Amino acid sequence: MGFSRAVTRMAAALALVAVTSCGGMAGSLRGGTPAARTATASPSVSGAPEAVALESSFERVIKRVLPAIVQITTTTGLGSGVVYDTAGHIVTNAHVVGKAREFQVTLATGGKPRRATLVNAFPAGDLAMIKVDDPSGLTPATFGRSAQLQVGQIVLAMGNPLGFSGSVTQGIVSALGRTVSGQGPTGTPGATITNAIQTSAPINPGNSGGALVDLSGKVIGIPTLAAVDPELGAAPGIGFAIPSDTATDVAGQIIKFGRVVNSRRAALGVRVGTAVDADGNPIGAVVGAVTPGSGAQQAGIKPGDVIVSVGGVPTPTANALSQVLATLRPGDKTQVRVLHPDAQTSTVTVTLNELPPTE
C-alpha cells in the first residue's frame, strides 16, 4: 500500500505527510554485552511524588487502552486501528485501508490474526471502518469528547509504528482547530482534516489509525498526519489527529446506514487541479468539471476558470481551496474570485452545497 503521501497546511512553511504504515519493515534490536543483558535493574523509589503519580497514571491508561489497539495488515502494508464495539467494528484511517477490502487484524494482546472486511470508508475525512469476522474477546475503547480538550493536556499516542506492535509515545495537545490537508503520491488533493488536534506526541509510520488518548483513558483523536519540513525533512513533535467527535460521528453513520450520509462539509460543486503560471508558480485552483445544479454552476463558474480566492482567502492550490471550504458550512454564501481563460477576473456569489461523502 506504501501509505506515504505529502500534505500541506495553510499559513505555515511546512508540508505535511500522512503518517502511514511501511509494509515489510522489520526492526533490528541488538542487546549489549552478555552481562548487560542479564543484569536486573531495581525500580527507583526516590522519585518526587508528582512524578510517581504521573508515571502511575501512564501505566494505568496504557493497561486500560492498549488492548483496544489493533494492527491492520493488507497485502501491501500495515497500520493501526481502534476497537469501536463488541460487535467487531474497528475505526481506522481511509489511507490505511486504501483499496483493500479484506484485512488481517492482530490484537495488541497477541493471538492469531483475525480476518476482517471493509464496512465502508469516508476518504474525504480520511476515516474508515472495518469489521472482524470473530469479535470474541475484543475490548472496545472508550471515546471522549474532543470538543472539551484544552491546549497543554498530556496525551499518549498508541499504535504500531514501523510494525512495532503496541507502541506508546507521550506528549501534549499543542494546538486545536487546525485545518490540514493530505496530498496523494501523484500530487492530487487528499483528505482535508477539520478541527485537527496538533500534538507533540511522536507519530511515526504505522501510527495511522491508532489512538490519541488522554489521561482518563479516553480516545480523543485518531493520529493521521505528521509534519515534514520541505528542506529539512521530518519535523519532530508536530503531529495531527482527527478529533474523536468527528470519528464517532462518521463511525455512527457507517454502522447505522452502511455509509456516511451527511459529510457536514461544504462544497462548491467543482473538480479542480492546481493551475500554474509560466514559471511554474501556483496561481489558483483550475476547474476541470462542474457538477450540474451545484452552487458553482448556478453562479456561472465553468471548466477552465481558475478560482483564486474564496471569501477573501487566497486559494493558490487545489489543497488550499479544500482547506478554505473545510472552514465553511453547506448553505453558506461566499464570494468566489475567478480568473477566466480570457484573463479577465470576476467575483461571484456561490451558495455552498454539501460535500458528497464519496468525494
* Catalytic residue IDs: 95, 126, 208
Question: Which residues lie closer than 8 Å to 350 by C-beta, 6 or more apart?
Answer: 268, 295, 296, 298, 299, 301, 333, 334, 335, 336
For residue 43, give the DSSP letter: P
Residue 16 in contact with residue 226, Cβ under 8 Å?
yes
Between CA 16 and CA 240 the distance in angstroms is 9
Contacts of 295 by beta carbon, 8 Å cutoff, 6+ apart:
268, 269, 350, 351, 352, 353
Question: In whole angstroms, what is the distance from residue 173 CA to residue 197 CA?
Answer: 7
Decide if 178 contacts 10 (C-beta within 8 A).
no
Alpha carbon distance 79, 23 (integer Å): 9
CA dist 223 and 201 (Å) reads 10
Distance spanning both ends of the chain, measured CA to CA: 20
Task: Count Cβ atoms within 10 A of the Cβ of residue 267 and give its class: 0-12 exposed, 13-18 middle, 19 or more buried.
Answer: buried
Q: Which residue carries 457507517 as its cell?
A: 254
Which H or E run contains 240? strand 233-243
Asked if residues 190 and 21 have their Cβ atoms less than 8 Å apart, the reply is: no
